[in-house]
Amino acid sequence: MSGIGPISLFDARAFPVRIAAEVKGLDQADFGSSPIDWSKHPRQTRFAVTSAVQAARAAGIVPGSVDPTRLGVYLGCGEIFWDLSEFGPLMAEGLRDGRFDPARFFREALCRSDGRVHENNEPNIPSYCLAGLFDAQGPNLNCIAACASSTQAIGGAAEVIRRDEADVMLAGGAHSMVNPVAMSGLHLLSVLSTANDKGPAAMRPFDGNRQGFVVGEGGAVVVLEELEHARSRGAEILGELTGFASSHDAYRVTDTHPDGRGYVHCVRQALQQARLNLTDIDYINAHGTSTVLNDRIETLALKRAFGREAYLIPVSSTKSMMGHATTACGAIEMIVALMAVRTGVVPPTINYETFDPDCDLDYVPNTAREIQCRHVLSNSLGFGGQNAAIVVSRFDEASPSRGAAGTPGRRTAA
């Protein structure tokens, strides 16, 4: 099933890209006694708050269950674009005739909007909101590393716990780029699919006919907790974050290194921290953006990192169903990894029809698969060369934590 369809958040009829994976029916009616009117905040903040409330409730985080000075927040939230939907037709006209001038557009938009700038648009505002909502007085951090942001935030939150600076961290990310400004910028970078007529079938990672990604949106937060603290609360443990690593390609501002060198190093470091061999990984949740170059490089990097074992490990891209949620994608995929070790079901890469000789791994085409799933590798590649990888493992009550991260995952919004 796919969440991709026509854009409804702004009038996109004149735009070259008219499809996205929007979050429908966002309901924030039940937020306790918080005095904040969430409707005044951008969608990114509302996604973060909704996800965190759901995650905390599922994990049993209630007043008094955690020392507030030992409760922290680490999110990966990106730029929040002004709500300039009213200027969509002006932007669409420029894109259509090839004369789009961003500087001219913003000058005119600012003049028409009387220079409105909202403090709620800062990318660190969601983490501040969560601190106030949960009385989280511990470390409060936000990471901006493009599409690797929320994976980096989750790994960083685990490191905070490992350093004994907190017992519990609300970690994840949120983002929405379904607006005229962001969509126009991505289109000018030639990374978006323009197969509007294909709708849900437009996002096709690793397929021979892929042509770009579909913008998604949303938020995901996981509760990471020190193991003994979780046991003392009698909390249900869904999995364990056993490995984390990050790296950089140090190549170009926009492109991934052609041989995936930073990605290869990142994967190897994550496995080393988790104290796992190549043969221990049962499933890989790929970044899988459905762009021609990135899918090819990611496949090459996996083969360089895993050698012949790469052909034996199921690899799938859940972006094929949910679109690319940019800074939030890694947190969403962390939850996919948790559910894989929890249920033994590996999600598919949908819309896979045509073989590409440069993408020759097992991409779990079109149909979910049941496997013995103990350890999952989830990868994120950020615009500009940022790489982040986490290893999620099935939790065994009788066994000590395998990795240096050593933090169990919690039930979260899905």
CATH number of the domain to which 113 belongs:
3.40.47.10
Q: Are residues 311 and 213 in the same domain?
A: no
Q: Are residues 97 and 218 in the same domain?
A: yes
Q: What is the pLDDT of residue 112?
A: 55
- Of the three residues 198, 231, 264, the one that is the final residue of a domain is 231
Question: Does a structural domain hold residue 356?
Answer: yes
248 labelled catalytic: no
Which residue out of 143, 324, 329, 375 is catalytically annotated?
Answer: 324
Q: Are residues 253 and 382 in the same domain?
A: yes
Instruction: Report the candidate in 273, 292, 301 with the shortest Cα–Cα distance to residue 379.
Output: 301
Q: Are residues 95 and 140 in the same domain?
A: yes
Q: Are residues 221 and 253 in the same domain?
A: no
The domain of 63 spans 5-231
- Of the three residues 213, 231, 249, the one that is the final residue of a domain is 231
Write out pLDDT tens, residues 330-349.
999 999 999 999 999 999 99
Instruction: Report the candidate in 127, 327, 302 with the shortest Cα–Cα distance to residue 216.
Output: 327
Which residue out of 41, 257, 265, 287 is catalytically annotated?
Answer: 287
Question: Does a structural domain hold residue 27?
Answer: yes
Instruction: Report the candidate in 77, 74, 76, 71 with the shortest Cα–Cα distance to residue 134.
Output: 71
Q: Are residues 194 and 254 in the same domain?
A: no
Q: Are residues 294 and 218 in the same domain?
A: no
| Strand partners of residue 19 | 6
Question: Does a structural domain hold residue 220?
Answer: yes
CA distance linking residue 80 with residue 43, whole number of Å = 9
Which residue out of 143, 147, 329, 359 is catalytically annotated?
Answer: 147
Q: What is the pLDDT of residue 58?
A: 93
Sheet holding 315-316, edge to edge: 315-316, 283-285, 375-382, 386-393, 239-248, 407-409
143 labelled catalytic: no
Question: Does a structural domain hold residue 414?
Answer: no
Q: Are residues 67 and 167 in the same domain?
A: yes
- Of the three residues 231, 260, 294, the one that is the final residue of a domain is 231
- In the chain, what is the straight-line distance between the N-terminal and C-terminal CA atoms, in Å? 15
129 labelled catalytic: no
Note if the pTM is more than 0.85.
yes
Q: Are 140 and 72 in contact (CB under 8 A)?
A: yes
Q: What is the pLDDT of residue 407?
A: 40
Question: Does a structural domain hold residue 281?
Answer: yes
Q: Are residues 76 and 214 in the same domain?
A: yes
Domain tally for the chain?
2
Q: Are residues 405 and 296 in the same domain?
A: yes
Q: Are residues 298 and 244 in the same domain?
A: yes
Question: Does a structural domain hold residue 273?
Answer: yes
Question: Does a structural domain hold residue 398?
Answer: yes
Q: Are residues 29 and 109 in the same domain?
A: yes
Q: What is the pLDDT of residue 86?
A: 55
Give mean pLDDT in consecutive 10-residue pieces for the chain, a chain of 414 residues. 92 91 82 65 91 94 91 93 59 60 61 54 88 95 95 95 93 94 86 95 97 96 92 90 94 85 95 95 98 96 97 98 97 97 97 98 98 97 92 77 43 22
DSSP state of 115: T
Q: What is the pLDDT of residue 91?
A: 60
Q: What is the pLDDT of residue 85?
A: 56
Q: What is the pLDDT of residue 128?
A: 92
Q: What is the pLDDT of residue 10?
A: 87
Q: What is the pLDDT of residue 413?
A: 20
Question: Does a structural domain hold residue 319?
Answer: yes
Instruction: Report the candidate in 161, 48, 215 with the shortest Cα–Cα distance to residue 409.
Output: 161
CA distance linking residue 32 with residue 30, whole number of Å = 6
Q: What is the pLDDT of residue 412?
A: 22
